[in-house]
Amino acid sequence: MANNISTEQAVINQVMASLPEVKSKKEHTLKSGESLWSIAKRELGGKNLSNREIRDYMLLIAKLNNLTTVDKMNELYVNQKIYLPAEIPRISAQNHKERSDLEKSVDSIINILQNDKTVRVKRATPEFLNLFHIFHEKVYPSGFRSSESPVLSFRLDENEKIRDVSMDDLKNINTIHYDYEIDSNGKAEIDIYPERPAEQLGRKDKEALFNEIYKQYESYKKNPIRFY
């Protein structure tokens, strides 16, 4: 059975990882009608705030209280004691930057590679192509269950370094083939005719993606399977 986490949870994980550590805290007793969102808005002053600013501060409060999932955040009750930052830390503008479609798609794929126990790698033939496909089990909205739904494909050079990666966008731009082609430097192109440049994938995102692919490749080497 697939063990994917939702795209929403992937975003929560990514934002929480980027937030600063709280150096001092104060105790707060929850009142009727309060939520982490309303508390965050009030603590920040409540005026001229973007939803992203409120969300980030809400997740900072959640992180401080080890409320790391949506379910945990929604299980709060009246008179429960939680902690709030004693001082509002400065959250850098970088944390407010909207993740691009490509970055969100990479986040989603990384979570599949890390958490889906059905993920497996198969090598394409002929072998001189040095092309590998990663599949997993997936249930589509129509109810169709596929035991070999493509996650991505990657190609290695003679030194077993990744030459390029082919993968889909979360919005599935193309219905008959992969959406993105990403080279070893993180340069991305949208795979349409004629090809259209996409944004450069940042170093951290590229390394995170490639590291997860290498982990799957190491598992493949222990049990090589061909894909025809």
143: left (phi over 0), alpha (psi -120 to 50) or beta: left
Q: What pLDDT shows up at residue 170?
A: 87
Q: Are strands 226-227 and 120-124 parallel, antiparallel or unpaired?
A: parallel
What span, in angstroms and rounded, lies between the C-alpha atoms of 190 and 13? 27
Taking residues 118-129, report their average pLDDT. 93
Which one is predicted more confidently, 148 or 93? Answer: 148
Taking residues 191-202, report their average pLDDT. 78
DSSP code, position 50: -
What Rg value do the Cα atoms of the chain yield, rounded?
21
Least confident span in 40-54, 59-73, 101-115, 133-147: 40-54
Q: What pLDDT shows up at residue 97?
A: 58
pLDDT at 2 over 50: no
Cα–Cα distances in angstroms (integers) from residue 55 to residues 74, 94, 133, in the given order: 14, 14, 37
Q: List, for residues 138-168, the tens digit of each pLDDT value.
A: 888 888 999 899 999 999 999 999 999 999 9
Beta bridge partners of 25: 85
Before 150, cis peptide (omega within 30)?
no
Residues above pLDDT 90, as percent of the chain: 54
Which one is predicted more confidently, 216 or 17? Answer: 216
pLDDT at 228 over 90: no
For the chain, the average pLDDT equals 88
Model confidence at 92, pLDDT cuts 50, 70, 90, reads low
Which one is predicted more confidently, 101 or 135? Answer: 135
CA 199 to chain centre: 17
Taking residues 107-125, report their average pLDDT. 92
Q: What pLDDT shows up at residue 83?
A: 95
Residues above pLDDT 70, as percent of the chain: 92
Q: Is the separation of the CB atoms in 186 and 202 below 8 Å?
A: yes
The residue among 89, 101, 219, 115 whose CA lies nearest residue 168 is 101
Give the DSSP H or E segment for 59: helix 51-64
The residue among 110, 119, 96 whose CA lies nearest residue 206 is 110
pLDDT at 179 over 90: yes
What span, in angstroms and rounded, lies between the C-alpha atoms of 203 and 187? 10
Both ends of the chain: CA-CA distance in Å?
24
